[in-house]
Amino acid sequence: MESLRQAQFAALDLMRRVQGHALGAIGFDPAELKHRILASGDHWRLRDYGGREPPLLIVAAPIKRPYIWDLGPNLSVIRNCLNHDLRIYLLEWIAPTASGGHVGLDECARAISECVARIATEPKSTKPFLIGHSLGGTLAAVFCACEPRAVRGLLLLGAPLCFQPATNRFRDALVSMIPPDLSETDIIPGSLLSHASAFASPDTFVWHRLTDAAMSLGDLRALDVHARVERWALDETPLPGKLVHQIAEWLYRENRFCRGDLTVLGHTIGPSCLDIPMLAVVNTADDVAPLASIEPFLDALPAKDVALIKYPGEIGIALQHLGILLGREAYARIWPKIIGWLASHR
């Protein structure tokens, strides 16, 4: 039965990608900037977009495709950062093959380490800042706790680090749905996780999404954002079972990282290991990564150079969880603060 369920969702992945390609065919494909592949491994690639200094390494989330960072000329964190003279790199995760379910937190942290080391070999390069959104930020924080001296600072955008029970409805619902004996060897279809997220928080992924679309009917730019986000959301990619199992069990269910009891690359890590400059941005309207999913972690940090920006969310972004990457108010009011923080730490 489990194999049948996996096959059904794998077929659904294909169907959703076909729907996404149809949206792309009528003009909603991403318009990604040119880049070169600077380095690669069996489950990752390091993109180099050029720019000046200092280097900023984007750690993409393992769920979906990384072009959410670069949807188009007016919807691109990457273009915005390049316009402010940053040198931009992006760590892209490669979808696992039939025998590639072995990638877990160790392998992800090792990939980030290899990327950081490779960036350091570039002419005139210095230690990079790391930035990540959602689970990309979680993975970036895990690496920084293992190798804090390898980076200049860490920026977290809607990235959950604390998973205390009864503080986050999305976390509680997701934990109740995911079986603790989830296989570490399977490939997990992306649509399975999409459906699990929608069941865990229908308000976030269904009703608020529809409400936002309805309230954007008179705004052509907002409707364009909705169509491009839908194109991205349909572009499902499978994940390694080992990584899904470890995130679900070690982070969401057991809260090991925030408790200081997570072992990655032979290090037992937690907030006490992150003695580096940090900036966290939280969308207070986001149920996926609310304030309660980051504030207790920040409070436990030994570093004094820690800043928190609260962003109230906005209309016209499809999903509040993506607001910091796509919102007009985010680009007008929040990103200047992020760029200013980076400038003050050069």
pTM: 0.95
Measured between alpha carbons, how far is 144 from 30 in angstroms, rounded to an integer? 30
Measured between alpha carbons, how far is 218 from 68 in angstroms, rounded to an integer? 24
Q: pLDDT averaged over consecutive 10-residue blocks of the chain (346 residues)?
A: 62 88 91 95 96 95 95 93 96 84 92 97 89 98 97 97 91 84 80 88 89 91 93 93 94 96 97 96 96 96 93 94 96 98 94
The CB-side HSE value for 93 (13 A sphere, CA atoms) comes to: 28
Predicted local distance difference test score (pLDDT) of residue 306: 96
Predicted local distance difference test score (pLDDT) of residue 5: 58
8 Å CB contact between 177 and 199: yes
Measured between alpha carbons, how far is 31 from 75 in angstroms, rounded to an integer? 10
Predicted local distance difference test score (pLDDT) of residue 187: 87
Closest CA to 53 of 83, 78, 81, 85: 85
Predicted local distance difference test score (pLDDT) of residue 1: 46
In DSSP terms, which residues pair with 36 in a beta bridge?
48
For tokens 């509680």, name the residue.
172
Give the other-Cβ count within 10 Å of 291's Cβ: 18
Helix, strand, coil percentages in the chain from 3-state DSSP, rounded to 5: 50, 20, 35
* Helical spans, DSSP H, in the chain: 2-23, 77-82, 105-120, 135-146, 169-177, 190-200, 202, 208-215, 220-234, 241-246, 256-259, 295-299, 323-326, 328-329, 335-344
Predicted local distance difference test score (pLDDT) of residue 8: 76
